Amino acid sequence: MKTNIQKFALRILILAAAIIALLFFSSGFVINIFDDGDSSTTETGLAEEITATVELENDSVESDENASQPMPIYGNWQVFTTEDGLPSNKVNTVKIDEGRILVGTDRGLAVLENNQWTIYTPEDGLAHRNVLSIDVDEDSGDVWIGTMDGLNRWSAGVFERFDQFNSGLANNVVYEVSADGRYTWIATTAGANRYDTYTNQWKIFNEETSPMHEPWCYGITSAENKAYIAAWGGGVLEYNNDTGTFRVYRDPDGHFNLTLFPDDGLIHDITTGVAFDNGTLWVSTYFGLGRYNGQRWWGYLDHDTGLTSTFINAVKAKNSVAYLATDYGLNTFDGTTWVTYNTIDGSKNGETIITNGENEEKLITDSAISHRFIWNMDVQDDVIWVATSYGLTRGVVVGYVDETIL
């Protein structure tokens, strides 16, 4: 009997010690190891810096978009600011359009083509100087531009303006536009739109015409004859073009101040962006990242994953990789591996961290993204353009994640 009590006491002792150890380690001890510069932090020159004029096509690794690829690692960061010709250092958005780069700033639209910047302002027909979103219709080549005061279709050199007074646009503050052949989808601050470019008909989605819990739309994308709307405070709405019906994704716990379970559904209702590719829906929020494969949801926060911040301004998807614009770095994630890119205070060097959530590899790079606060980004082939709070950054794929190193 006495022996049993001693065994029980010993088990309690071990359990208590384990819990205390867990609390101790979770309070930052592991992080301190890296801060002290252990062997996991390695100095490396991922690739040579590009310091010459812009080379849009010849400096990237060849790839096949449709092939299943390991996680790309970007580098060779090249920064553009007002000193290089941008109208402002506050860069809201960027879009790669074949041989040119379309850049939305708070002081106009900037276009980089043949190594030359051309700036467009309201004097040229731009709806408003503050450009928040840009998309290109691959069929027609028309450029759609969402601004703080109306929507533009830029076609054949002419800016056509759409606003609340001359069209069915739900509101003049256009946070995102997505051009998908016949339909152009628009997320405004007070409802979403579908504009039929064949018939010029507008469809308005708000709390009266759709199951939109709140009408404040932040993001919109279209894929596979569906549209996905990020309704800020209302989760995500999926609209089926064939049936004209909605499916709504909401945070099951229904509370803004907590995440009850991370994988029980959409991580949070304060959604900021949506992206769909390769059968996966990615949802950015100001409270974490959501991923949905058509069968189940995953939710990601910053304290227990590689996500550098739960405050995510926008999300894009390419094949199986999500690109996340956070207020504390650029993140990429394929469901298993995180690669994050950040600046280092007081240094021109950058920091690339590769992690699967348990192990991580930190790389110091010779160049860095222009600022850690990311507003948006665009990816094509092996090139990424990043719109930041201070400048525009271009990067190229310089390698792929070897998961055996983790």
Partner 1 sequence: MKKGRGFIPIIFLMLLFMITGVTGVMGQEQPHANTPPEIYPFSNFQVPHFRHFEERLPYYGAAREYEYPDTSEVETVRLGFIGPLDGAHEYYTMNGQQMLQGTMLAVEEANKEGGFNGIPFELIARNDIGLWGASGNEMVALDDMGVFAAVGSIDGNNSHIAIRVALKLELPMVNTGSTDPTLTDTRIPWVIRTNPDDRQFNYALLNEIYNKKGYTRVALIRANSRYARIGTREFIDGARRLGHPLNIRQVYYPGETNFDDYLENIRQADVEAVVVWGEVDEIARIVTQMRESGMEQTVFSSDKVVSDLFLELAGEHAEGVIAAYPYNPNILGADYHKFVENYRERFGKNPGWHAVHAYDGTRILIESIKIAGLNKALIRDELTSFRKHQGITGDIILDDSWNSITPVWLAEFNDGEFTFWQYQWISQSRYQ
Please report, for residues 319, 381, 402, the alpha-carbon distance to residue 67 in angstroms, rounded to integers and kept in the order given.
9, 12, 17
**22 binds partner 1 per the rule CB under 8 A:** no
Counting contacts by CB under 8 A, is residue 9 touching partner 1?
yes
Instruction: Kindly state whether residue 87 participates in binding partner 1, applying the rule CB under 8 A.
Output: no
Nearest to 135 by CA among 85, 185, 87: 185
Question: By the 8 A CB rule, do 288 and 333 touch?
Answer: no
Minimum CB distance to partner 1, residue 132 (Å)? 7
Per CB under 8 A, 214 contacts partner 1: yes
Rounded to 5 degrees, what are φ and ψ at 89?
Answer: -85, -10
Residue where the block lists tokens 């709140």: 214
Cβ at position 189, least distance to partner 1 in Å: 4
Q: Is 405 exposed, middle or buried (0-12, 13-18, 19+ CB in 10 A)?
A: exposed
| CA pseudo-torsion sign 382, 386, 392, 398 | negative
189 binds partner 1, rule: CB under 8 A: yes
Binding flags for partner 1, 353-372, as an x/- string (CB under 8 A): ------------------xx
Residues 132-161, interacting with partner 1 (CB under 8 A): 132, 148-149
Q: Which residues contact 216 (CB under 8 A, 6 or more apart)?
A: 189, 190, 231, 232, 233, 234
The amino acid at 66? N
Question: Are 86 and 106 a contacting pair, CB within 8 Å?
Answer: no
Q: Is 178 in the site for partner 1 (CB under 8 A)?
A: no
First to last CA, the chain: 48
**Contacting partner 1 (CB under 8 A), which of 77, 228, 328, 338?**
328
Residue 292 within binding range of partner 1, rule CB under 8 A: no
Token pair belonging to 268:
């949070």
121 near partner 1, rule: CB under 8 A: no
CA torsion, ordered 309, 97, 335, 219, to nearest 10 deg: 60
Does 259 bind partner 1 (CB under 8 A)? Our answer is yes
Stretch that binds partner 1, among 12-20, 55-63, 236-244, 273-281 (CB under 8 A): 12-20
Residue 128 interacts with partner 1 (CB under 8 A)?
A: yes
DSSP 8-state class, residue 82: G
Which one of 60, 92, 367, 393 is in contact with partner 1 (CB under 8 A)? Answer: 92
Q: Which stretch binds partner 1 (CB under 8 A): 36-44, 195-203, 361-369, 383-391?
A: 383-391
Single out the residue of 87, 276, 390, 398 in contact with partner 1 (rule: CB under 8 A). Answer: 390
- Does residue number 218 form part of the binding site for partner 1 (CB under 8 A)? yes
* Inter-CA distances, 137 with 176, 181, 364, 379, Å: 14, 6, 38, 16
Which residue among 327, 360, 366, 381 contacts partner 1 (CB under 8 A)? Answer: 327
167 contributes a contact to partner 1 by CB under 8 A = no
340 sits near partner 1 (criterion: CB under 8 A): no
Positions in the binding site for partner 1 (CB under 8 A)? 5-6, 9-10, 12-13, 16-17, 19-20, 23, 89-90, 92, 128, 130, 132, 148-149, 164, 170-173, 175, 188-191, 214-216, 218, 232-233, 253, 255-262, 270, 286-287, 301, 303, 309, 311, 327-328, 371-373, 388-390
